[in-house]
Structure 1
Amino acid sequence: MKFPSQIFRSYDIRGLLDEVTPELAKNVGYVLIKKTQAKTVIAGRDMRATSPELLKAAIQGLIEAGANVIDIGFCTTSLYNFCISSIDHAEAGIMITASHNPAEYNGMKFSYGNGQPISGKEIRDAVEEDFVPAGSLGSVTKIDPINDYVEKCLTVSGAPDLSGKKIVVDYGNGAGAITVRPLLQKMNVEVIELYAEPDASFPNHESNPVKEETLVDIKAAILREKADLGIALDGDADRIMFIDNEGVTLRGDLLVPLLAKELRSHEPEAKIVITVNQSWTSFEEIAACGAPAIVCPNGRTNVIATMKKENADFGGEVSGHMMYKEFADLESVDYTIVRTLSVWQKSGLVFADLVRHLRQYHNSGEVNLEIHDKDGAIKKLEELYASKATVVNRIDGIRCEFDHDWWFIARLSNTEPILRLTVEAVSEGLMREKVEELVVIVSEK
């Protein structure tokens, strides 16, 4: 059977509902065992409309290939990551999810038992082959790991008692409430919940907290309720954004140094991995509390691979993926919540005052430009700016820094005719000026 080639991506499989079918899921189960030789596999799913049937089909493929399956059912990606990292005999995993994508999408992601991701492109080469079932079927064991996961998040770093504090949480109609709700209850915090009911149609807003337009409701609720801060999650709860008590978002690359500094306060030699598109703040704050950060290309798989290679303790992205050695170098939004709230409690400050110094530079955020000659655009930027820059980094597109006035990074999308541009400067006026300048240059034919 043929499957659309475009759904097999660098990090996972993701496509429209009629492209990601039970037939595909079953075949993927076969391929996963062929590739990993795993005898025991973790399997879970998010709340999307087709996820139950996709998980059922994937499990059928896994057991027909002879593997034993630990079925964790409806879960978040963070909970799935916990199972991968804590169940010793698990040698691979499959999670049915399209993460933050709109309702008309679904997908799958996979990993080895050590947490190392397996790309959709690695699966593609064998997924259309005919398979012969193993001599005997594997078994299926259902477990509920939520309590164990919540306890680990609370005990590894120590849970703050937040009696008297008020937090707004926007679940975006995703899966996050199944773990975040009991987690926050154990910290005695008053919680105002938005869109906690899982709903695959995402009726209130896209479940993608990186987009500022999805944070309108939580910001209004924070101000209306006089809350201490807000937490927004994506659909499968592997990405997180914090919003302060003044209704201002804390980008992922500003959360990273806050957590890195706390980690190094008791582990001075801790290694930190960051992506090349992060703010000067991230680079400077991390270097100021020990060794400079280890820098890698953008993308969660790059962060995970670099953490494993360097035996790092913590890594994070602008988009809100926060990875920890304690979870096999994978994401945990719940652990991120505990650590962030612990830093906040110990500071004695209101949340806005705790993070205000992290916003010292003016950052454009990621500007996505449709450019058909992407390589030509990067070459043009190289020719015009590299020789004038004081620092040039080419590990992911091109990043040029100009003294300590401003910098830009231009990166290419792997799957679309999109150039991703970020500019940061010491003043808002300079930042806007440089964004306009660069957009004109890369848009010229």
Structure 2
Amino acid sequence: MTHQFDPTSLREYDIRGIVGKSLGPSDATAIGRGFATRVRAIGGTRVAVGYDGRTSSPDLEAALVAGLRAGGIDVVRIGLGPSPMLYYAEATLEVDGGIHVTGSHNPAEYNGFKMVLRHAPFFGDDITDLARLARAGDWSTGDGAVTDVAIIDAYVARLFAGYAGGSYRIGWDTGNGAAGPVIEKLVELLPGEHHLLFTDVDGKFPHHHPDPTIEANLAHLKRLVTDNKLDFGVAFDGDGDRIGVVDALGRVLWGDQILSILVEPLLRERPGATVVADVKSSQALFDRITALGGIAVMAPTGHSLMKTAMTRTRAPLGGELSGHLFFGGEYYGFDDAHYAAVRLIRAVHLSGRSLTELHDAMPALVATPDLRFAVDDDRKFAIVDAVIDRLTSEGAQIDRTDGARVTTPDGWWLLRASNTQAMLTVRAEARDAAALDRLLAQVDAHLAIAGVTRQRD
């Protein structure tokens, strides 16, 4: 027996596609067979499995479990929940790896699989190897057992453990995603007053899509916070590993701004610690880490790459512009938006100021969101390489951590190829609007040479 994956489903960080088109139960079974083979090759015997709230997730989870069992692996099923709950299960139960069935922040018709092996992200060449095993049918065989473990209460208790964050009035929007049940239990433990939106899990996402990196998806939360005069609001993506935040005035704090608040108590308690931020993050964040006595490390964008960078540098904290925030030290090193919310409450409390005041104190910079434009997968990396060659020949100040991050007297701009979509992405930050326009004009000039036009909002 062999299997051929749709190549578009094999992403850098995970496996993801449109259910019924590029992804289905047979793929889930093949993933289980391949992962079982890899686990057994290192002497492992047990794998934790969970799934998110998408309508296709139960069928994919059942097929995945069947594949793992046929590969001779015992399966620990934790049921419906967010990805960080699966990561927690993998970190604390006696298992050798974990797989979560999730479409993350993608539209409702998508689904996929995030994988962990021996507490490390399973990505890149590991995913390529699953495809190789499937093509050859080179799978282990056996008859694994299944047990069910209810872990949500232990997970929520761990989120709350040692809480010392004070009492606030907070709005919470889980967008009908898998974070809902966790937040319902968490707010029962937290002091203060809590207003909840859309915590019932519904894979059709009837109110808004659960992706807090798109500001339009935060409209309900903004209204909740401002109408009720709450201290701030928190939102989550579909599988609970991305956080979004609004202050009392309804203004959005992006991932790098949230991280800039978290670094102060961390560096007070751990002087000289390393903090990792992705290449899209504001220069103001890197400057702040350095000013507070920390070591700032820039890393490529992508949750698996960020986890790898944090392990390599032994950083206790890291984050991406996209709202993935990672916690090492006394935690487990993975991205967890629920834990990020608890840590944010604590950081605000320790600051002695409101979140709105902390937001007001941030440098007044002008930045774009993530600007995206479609480019064929077989061209996107070549275009970036050509731009890097041109910039190098011009003597530009360029950082090649992930694509090209170019610093000029006006600010900086970034051009990189997406690892998950047939897209190029651009981000720029400057001291004022005129400087930002000049930066974007530079980007457009480089793209025009490749015959590419940036999509305008």
Q: What percent of counterpart residues are identical?
A: 28
Q: How does 1:115-126 map to 2 (within 5 A)?
A: 115-119=120-124, 120-126=127-133
Q: Secondary structure at the match of 1:42?
A: strand
Report if the CA contact (8 A) 1:381-1:442 is conserved.
no
Change (3 A) 1:371 1:43: closer
Letter in 2 for 1:71: R
Q: Is the 8 A contact 1:115 1:328 kept in 2?
A: no
Q: Which residue of 2 aligns with 1:12?
A: 14
Structure 2 residue 18 is the aligned partner of structure 1 residue 25: no
Instruction: Say what the alpha-carbon RMSD is for the aligned residues.
Output: 2.1
The whole-number CA distance in structure 1 between the counterparts of 2:393 and 2:173 is: 42
Aligned to 1:185: 188
1:378–1:361 Cα change, 3 Å: farther
| TM-score calculated relative to the size of structure 1 | 0.93
| Cα-to-partner distance string for 1:249-306 (whole Å, 9 max, x where unaligned) | 1110111122122111111132211112210111011111123212211111111111
What is the alpha-carbon distance in structure 1 between the residues aligned to residue 35 and residue 233 of structure 2? 39
Summarize the Cα distance change of 1:328–1:345 in structure 2 as closer, same or farther, 3 Å threshold.
closer
Task: Give the superposition deviation at 1:426.
Answer: 1.0
Counterpart pick for 1:339 among 322, 340, 343: 343
| Counterparts of 1:181 and 1:246, CA distance in 2 | 24
Counterpart of 1:55 in structure 2 is 61
Q: In structure 1, what is the Cα distance between the partners aligned to 2:384 and 2:81?
A: 42
SS of match in other structure, 1:168 = strand
Give, as a single letter, the amino acid of the residue that structure 1 aligns with 2:205.
Answer: F
In 1, are the aligned partners of 2:267 and 2:294 still within 8 Å (CA)? Answer: no
Contact 1:174 1:198 in 2 (8 A): yes
Out of 269, 290, 293, which is 2:293 matched to? 290
| Residue 111 of structure 1: aligned partner | 116
Which amino acid in 1 is paired with 2:275?
I
| DSSP 3-state at the match of 1:400 | strand
Matched residue, 2:91? 85
CA contact under 8 A between 2:184 and 2:199: conserved in structure 1? Answer: no
Q: Return 244-253 or 117-126, whichever deviates more.
A: 117-126
Deviation at 1:161, TM superposition (A): 3.5
Q: In 1, are the aligned partners of 2:25 and 2:64 still within 8 Å (CA)?
A: yes
Q: How many residues align?
A: 438
For the structure 1 residues 128 and 417, does the alpha-carbon distance in structure 2 shift closer, same or farther, using more than 3 Å as the test? closer
How many Å apart are 1:376 and its aligned residue?
3.5
1:167 paired residue number:
170
2:265 touches 2:350 (CA, 8 Å); kept in 1? no
Distance 1:190 1:91 in 2: 40
Alignment CA distance shift 1:416-1:354 (3 Å): closer
The residue type equivalent to 2:425 in the other structure is R
2:311 counterpart letter in structure 1 = K
Deviation at 1:13, TM superposition (A): 0.9
Q: Which residue of structure 2 lines up, in the alignment, with residue 202 of structure 1?
A: 205
Distance in 2 between the 1:45 and 1:220 partners?
Answer: 31
Could you tell me which amino acid in structure 2 is paired with residue 5 of structure 1? P
Q: Which of 395, 398, 402 is residue 392 of structure 1 equivalent to?
A: 398
Of 138, 144, 150, 1:138 maps to 144
Distance apart, 1:388 and its partner CA: 5.6
Amino acid at match of 2:5: F
Q: 2:107 corresponds to which residue? A: 102
SS at match of 1:242: strand
C-alpha separation in 2, matches of 1:377 and 1:396:
10
SS at match of 1:193: strand
CA 1:380–1:94 in structure 2 vs 1: closer, same or farther (change >3 Å)?
closer
C-alpha distance 79-132 of structure 1, shift in aligned 2 (>3 A): closer
Contact 1:377 1:442 in 2 (8 A): no
- Give secondary structure in 2 for the equivalent of 1:118: coil
Q: Which amino acid counterpart does residue 43 of structure 1 have in structure 2?
A: V
Distance of 1:51 and 1:108 partners within structure 2: 10
Alignment-derived partner of residue 219 in structure 1: 222
Task: Note if contact 1:168-1:222 (Cα within 8 Å) is conserved in structure 2.
Answer: yes
Q: How does 1:234-383 map to 2 (within 5 A)?
A: 234-325=237-328, 326-371=330-375, 374=380, 375-376=382-383, 379-380=386-387, 383=390
Contact 1:388 / 1:402 at 8 angstroms: preserved in 2? no
Q: Per the alignment, in what secondary structure is the counterpart of residue 161 of structure 2?
A: helix
Distance 1:115 1:223, change over 3 A: same
1:5–1:371 CA distance, 2 compared to 1 (3 A): closer
Give the Cα separation in 2 of the matches to 1:191 and 1:122: 46
Contact 2:46–2:96 under 8 Å retained in 1: yes
In the alignment, the residues of structure 1 paired with residue 153 and residue 393 of structure 2 have an alpha-carbon distance, to the nearest angstrom, of 52
**Residue number among 4, 17, 25 corresponding to 1:2 in the alignment:** 4
Amino acid at match of 1:184: V
Tell whether the 8 Å contact from 2:4 to 2:131 is kept in structure 1 after alignment: no
Q: Which moved more, 1:124-133 or 1:109-118?
A: 124-133
Q: 1:69 aligns with which of 72, 75, 83?
A: 75
Q: Which amino acid aligns with 2:320?
A: E
Which of 45, 58, 67 is the equivalent residue of 1:39? Answer: 45
Q: Structure 1 residue 133: deviation in Å?
A: 6.7
Q: Which runs of 5+ in 2 are unaligned?
A: 452-457
Moved more, 345-354 or 430-439: 430-439
Identify the residue that residue 455 of structure 2 maps to in structure 1: none
**8 Å contact kept, 2:46–2:95:** yes
Output one character per residue of 1:45-66: Cα deviation in whole Å (capped at 9) or x when no partner. 0011111111112112212222
Deviation for aligned residue 1:189: 2.5
Q: Residue by residue, what CA displacement relative to the aligned partner does 1:320-344 show, whole Å, maximum 9, x if unpaired?
A: 1111124432111121111100111
CA separation of 1:265 and 1:429: change in aligned 2, threshold 3 A: same
1:442 to 439, 443, 447: 447
SS of alignment partner, residue 319 of structure 1: coil
- What secondary structure, in the 3-state scheme, does the structure 1 residue paired with 2:112 have? strand
